[in-house]
Structure 1
């Protein structure tokens, strides 16, 4: 990285953000989705793979929890400027509550026909809150 009088250039900060987001995508997202890979493998082994079969067991709740807890750790590890601290804490608390809601839903939501819609909704909330946290922490 090019340094000039102790300052980091805007291009270097942008590159740091891109690297952190790519690292989060390849480690956090790909590893968190492991339960889906096992369901796909099971389906391929039995000869029947369907989208409903993959989503009907509720593993997405666990994935959502893993994503949000990982993104909260990203915010906690980052050095957030003082003027953005309240926003960062709010985003982390929201992501934490989404993660807890996902794990509670995994335990308490019964396997019904509406489970696919519920998992998609909870998964979207987990993904959005995780992306917000990772973007806030990126480059810091």
Structure 2
């Protein structure tokens, strides 16, 4: 269970990197389209990178964070439940900030900053799993 806990935490932190990469690609694709004469309005279709950002952020990462919390109850890692709960909390906050950003774009700054918090707390969770002493064998 410790290995599963650690793998989930690492996947969450790595997902933040994926999210940064695909949102950068998304907006460079938009800028490229605008440079070739396309018009961006409410009828514009989202490009593949916007879709990837939404899918990873709204489905994959929350499921990984929820799985981390569930596994944390069985992994016997000191502080493991706490760090898994914090990871899930900042992941939920990220979704709230994303929706709030559509109405108040300046909130998007907090969405970007919170991504670093997700990576950080998931990294701490992974470190907790790596550094935790092995559980005592019960005879």
TM normalised by structure 1 equals 0.50
* 1:129/1:64 CA distance change after superposition, 3 Å: farther
Report how many residues are paired.
109
Residue in 1 that maps onto 2:15: 28
The question of whether the paired residues in 1 share the 8 Å contact of 2:97 and 2:110 is answered with no
TM-score, with length taken from structure 2: 0.50
CA distance in 2, matches of 1:100, 1:78: 20
2:122 is matched with which residue? 130
Contact 1:91–1:132, Cα closer than 8 Å, also in 2: yes
Q: CA deviation at 1:94?
A: 0.6
Which structure 1 segments of 5+ residues have no match?
Answer: 1-15, 49-56
Q: How does 1:1-140 map to 2 (within 5 A)?
A: 24=11, 28-29=15-16, 31-33=18-20, 34-47=22-35, 63=57, 66-67=60-61, 69-71=63-65, 73-74=67-68, 76=71, 80=75, 82=76, 84-85=77-78, 87-112=79-104, 114-138=106-130
CA distance in 2, matches of 1:127, 1:26: 4
Cα RMSD of the aligned pairs, angstroms, is: 4.3
Which residue pairs with 1:10 in the alignment? none
Contact 1:32–1:63 (Cα < 8 Å) also in 2: yes
Q: Would the alpha carbon gap of residues 72 and 78 (structure 1) be closer, same or farther in structure 2, given more than 3 Å must change? A: same
- What is the CA–CA distance in structure 2 between the aligned matches of 1:25 and 1:97, rounded to whole Å? 13
| Cα displacement string for residues 48-79 of structure 1 (whole angstroms, at most 9, x for unaligned residues) | 9xxxxxxxx9x69x749854653553562796
Q: Which runs of 5+ in 2 are unaligned?
A: 37-49, 133-139
Contact preservation (8 Å) 1:67, 1:130: no
